[in-house]
Structure 1
């Protein structure tokens, strides 16, 4: 432990986030108003809660490094030092090179071309529950949809989708040793697929990643494996929780269901407001590279800094009536998918899956509401916001 002179702190302020992860927003407001740069002993990091500060941190990889934030983790939780970092954990200039190469394969056209297949998957999932008048939004739709899409996009057997979900759930959980084993298992799995595609390319993303190059520079195998891991985990968790959070929020605001059903063109705006109101990825992780002052606090080199996207998106200095869900909010410059060089590379896929899921749900079903006896339980993660289950009733 370094010798940082931490500010006086009430441990219960951030401990309450752990105690009530479904409602961290009151604590966020206290942080913004009283301790905008606050050292959390529970999370072993500086919580950055105001919009402007959060944006400044995530936009400055020189002062606040993604790569060094991983190096500072306990040895047992780090990936193999010989393994390539994902886009999340690299800094410029290598981050820029990686992203440029990946963008050659993971193109807007690739994403847009998935729309018909996503629509088929959503209808197929809803067909299974239509006779019963009940659906668990998470188990029956939000979980399987992105897993199936990612499996098909990567070109891996669909029968492995439950294994994908298992790995993804472990990696976003606090279970350190299990997380390490899951990363190893994922690497081994994807390595065999990559080797197959080297011998026999197919029309899938892994084959495209293998062939992508800029001026003779190709992605290494380790970098391809790291992107497969990132797409599986981040792509699954973001889409699953965005869909679940949308339905949870609409159930709390029944008039939104009616407005959207009357005018499906409002769905994209509704999705953006859900991203702001219930941000799927609540916080990020950076490391200070040098001693620096922020919000009146001295942050030492090597200290972990946690920009809280979920707090920034409810900052009253940026959003009018920030605690209210407003379907017609304009402007809505949230940072729910990050900002700058680390803007979520899979955000367009998450938006597309969520838009199509909502369009089909609102077209096929009426009278959707949460089952009154259902209890909400937060997913097993301190940085993802979502529920494990969301039973709802509907009429055909």
Structure 2
């Protein structure tokens, strides 16, 4: 599915970069890192263009002024999602939202609150992590110009670079995970005993867990290495 989306993603990317070139300056987040993944996820979900613009403007407003009344913002955000759902009910098309509406209206598999929360989660999770990765990645490249120069001289390192940026400058600062309850004895992992509902954190820069904990593109830190981190 993602491979099928590549031409459209490239088209959106080109449109955004063309606009930057015409303007002669660039705000990385506002002009590229935010609109690119937002437009992609909005189209994947099947959000009509009018409602894409409304939801986009809401996100721009909260990012520009994070101190505004959050309750009022959330109320308006959910109201916009409800309008989107009603529009899709009237004019169903292919896409994730239409499938979710069908699951709610025809199959009774989703409640109304579940439908609303699922759509808002897909919109949020579908763009924020990519936005953050692009921004964090650019900062990491500016702090490590030797790696930027290496990537420019050897573009074949791009897959390694993406994996390394995800590890070193990941889009989420923290993600809670809990050990699954395994009776009173807990479960043994490496040198630790994890008991039910204990939190588990992965530190992706530990020297003893990674062959190369520093920020480099030439060494591929395999996923198995990351999964070993306790």
For Structure 1 versus Structure 2, the TM-score category normalised by the shorter chain is: 0.7 to 0.9
CA contact (8 A) 2:212 2:219 kept: no
Which SS does the other structure have where 2:26 is aligned?
strand
Aligned to 2:217: 327
How far apart are residue 210 of structure 1 and its match? Answer: 2.5
1:194-245, Cα deviation, whole Å (9 max, x unpaired):
12222320233211322359xx563333223212211222222201111112
Aligned to 1:69: none
Aligned to 1:274: 165
How far apart are residue 274 of structure 1 and its match? Answer: 0.4
Equivalences for 1:70-89 in 2 at 5 Å?
Answer: none
Is the helix fraction higher in 1 or 2? 2
CA distance in 2, matches of 1:269, 1:205: 31
Aligned to 1:159: 53
Give me the CA root mean square deviation: 3.8
CA contact (8 A) 2:103 2:109 kept: yes
CA 1:318–1:197: 2 relative to 1, 3 Å: same
Aligned to 1:113: 4
Is the strand fraction higher in 1 or 2? 1
* Alignment pair present for 1:313 and 2:208: no
Which SS does the other structure have where 1:318 is aligned?
coil
- TM-score, normalised relative to structure 2: 0.74
The higher-RCO structure (CA 8 Å, 6+ apart) is 1
How far apart are residue 298 of structure 1 and its match? Answer: 10
Which SS does the other structure have where 1:112 is aligned?
helix
How far apart are residue 327 of structure 1 and its match? Answer: 0.5
User: Which ranges of structure 2 fall in alignment gaps of 5 or more residues?
Assistant: none
Which SS does the other structure have where 1:242 is aligned?
helix
Equivalences for 1:27-46 in 2 at 5 Å?
Answer: none
CA distance in 1, matches of 2:196, 2:150: 50
CA contact (8 A) 2:209 2:225 kept: no
Aligned to 2:80: 189
How far apart are residue 129 of structure 1 and its match? Answer: 2.5
Counterpart of 1:239 (choices 123, 130, 133) is 130
CA contact (8 A) 1:142 1:240 kept: yes
CA 1:164–1:136: 2 relative to 1, 3 Å: closer
User: Which ranges of structure 1 fall in alignment gaps of 5 or more residues?
Assistant: 1-108, 339-396
The size of the alignment, in residue pairs, is 216
Which SS does the other structure have where 2:205 is aligned?
coil
* Alignment pair present for 1:206 and 2:97: yes
CA 1:203–1:300: 2 relative to 1, 3 Å: closer
Counterpart of 1:254 (choices 142, 145, 170) is 145
